Amino acid sequence: MAGWKAMVATSGPGFSLMQEGIGHAINAEVPLLVVDVQRGGPSTGQPTMPSQQDVFQARYGSHGSYEIIVLSPSNVQELFYLTIDAINLSEQYRTPVILLTEEVTVHLWEKIYIPDPGEYPVLPHVTPPTHGDEGFLLEGQLHDERGYNVANDPELSAKALWRLIRKIRDNVDRISRIEVKYFEDEPEVFVASYGCSARSALAAVKMLRREGYRVGFLRLITLWPFPENAIKNALRNASTVVVPEMNAGYMAREFRLLGLNVVPIPKLGGEMPTPEEIYSVVRGVVS
C-alpha cells in the first residue's frame, strides 16, 4: 500500500483462509493480486488435481456487498500477461484482483514470449494522497474518499459503499474481456468456457466444424465482473450455449441469467473435460 506492489499465491484451502483479508483490501482499497490455483475441494479434497470449483468463492467468498475483478487465463503465455493485467487493474481500480487459474495451467510447460521491459504496459504504483498533515487513514470500516470513518452515518455509509461497488460496476465493459471464435457463419449453438476447460472446448468446436456443424466458441477471459454485454453481443444470433466447466455448473447459471438456453457440462473428479465429451453433448443439440 505504502510503496510496493503486492501479490500472494495459494491453492484451494489457502484461498478460503484469505477471504477475510480480501474483504479488508476491498474496503481499504488496497491494490493487491491474489492468485488462486484451483484444486479439487471442498477442504483438501483433491490436492494435486485441477478444478474450477472456486469461481463463486472468488466472486462472493468474503462477506459484505462488493464487486471484484477475477481473471482466468487459458495457457502459460496468457498466465504471464494476465498477471501483469491483473496488477494494472488492481492499481487502476484500487482493489484486489484475483487471478483464478487451475493446477493444469500452472503445471504446463509451454513456450512463451517474454517482452522486453517497456514493451507491455505496466502501471506505476500510486500511493494514496494524504490530506494536510494527516497520514492516510486506513481501516476496515467504511470510509469516505479521504479515509475518514463514516460507519455511523447511514447516508454517508451508503454513499461510500456505492462508490466502491460502482467503480467496478460502472466499468464492466472496460474491465471485462471475452474471446470469440467461429462466429462468422452466425452459429445458433456456442460452446462457452474459460481457463483450462476452454482448451477442451476449442478442440471440440474444431472437431465439430471439421464435420460441418456450425458451432461457435466463446471464452471468458474475465469471469467477474461477468462480461454481460460482450456476451450478449457475441451471442445475439445464438439460442443455445453449452458450458463445460470443472465444477457443479456454476458459470452456466450466469449464462442462463442472460436468457439463453444453457446446457451445462459440469465435470467433477479432477480431470479436464475431454474434447470428445463436449463434442458428444454438442452433437445432441446441434442440427
Nearest to 61 by CA among 103, 90, 27, 18: 18
Contact characters 196-225, other proteins, x per CB under 8 A: x--xx-xx--x-------------------
Decide: is 276 part of the binding site for other proteins (CB under 8 A). Answer: yes
The span from the CA of 63 to the CA of 219, in Å, is 29
Residue count, binding to other proteins (CB under 8 A): 18
Decide: is 26 part of the binding site for other proteins (CB under 8 A). Answer: no
Q: How far is the CB of 108 from other proteins (least distance, A)?
A: 5
Contact, 12 vs 47, CB < 8 A?
yes
The span from the CA of 238 to the CA of 201, in Å, is 17
Contact, 1 vs 17, CB < 8 A?
no
Q: How far is the CB of 63 from other proteins (least distance, A)?
A: 31
Contact characters 36-75, other proteins, x per CB under 8 A: -----------xx---------------------------
Which grid coordinates belong to 280?
Answer: 458428444
25 vs 79 by CB, closer to other proteins: 79
Nearest to 185 by CA among 212, 154, 161: 212
Query: For other proteins, which residue of 80, 125, 274, 283 counts as binding (CB under 8 A)?
Result: 274
Contact characters 179-198, other proteins, x per CB under 8 A: -----------------x--
Decide: is 275 part of the binding site for other proteins (CB under 8 A). Answer: yes
Query: For other proteins, which residue of 160, 272, 281, 282 counts as binding (CB under 8 A)?
Result: 272
Q: What angle do CA 180, 255, 48 make, to 5 degrees?
A: 80
Q: How far is the CB of 109 from other proteins (least distance, A)?
A: 4
- 225 prior amide bond cis, ω within 30: yes
111 vs 236 by CB, closer to other proteins: 111
Contact, 218 vs 180, CB < 8 A?
yes
Q: How far is the CB of 199 from other proteins (least distance, A)?
A: 5
Which grid coordinates belong to 192?
Answer: 462457452
Nearest to 199 by CA among 247, 255, 246, 269: 246
Touching other proteins, residues 72-111 (CB under 8 A): 104, 107-111
Among 136-144, 230-238, 259-267, 271-279, which window interacts with other proteins (CB under 8 A)? 271-279
Q: Which residue has the cell 502501471?
A: 123
Residue 40: strand pairing partners: 46
143 vs 199 by CB, closer to other proteins: 199
- 121 prior amide bond cis, ω within 30: no
Contact, 1 vs 24, CB < 8 A?
no
Contact characters 119-158, other proteins, x per CB under 8 A: ----------------------------------------
The span from the CA of 78 to the CA of 231, in Å, is 20
Q: How far is the CB of 204 from other proteins (least distance, A)?
A: 8
The footprint of other proteins (CB under 8 A) covers 47-48, 104, 107-111, 196, 199-200, 202-203, 206, 272, 274-276
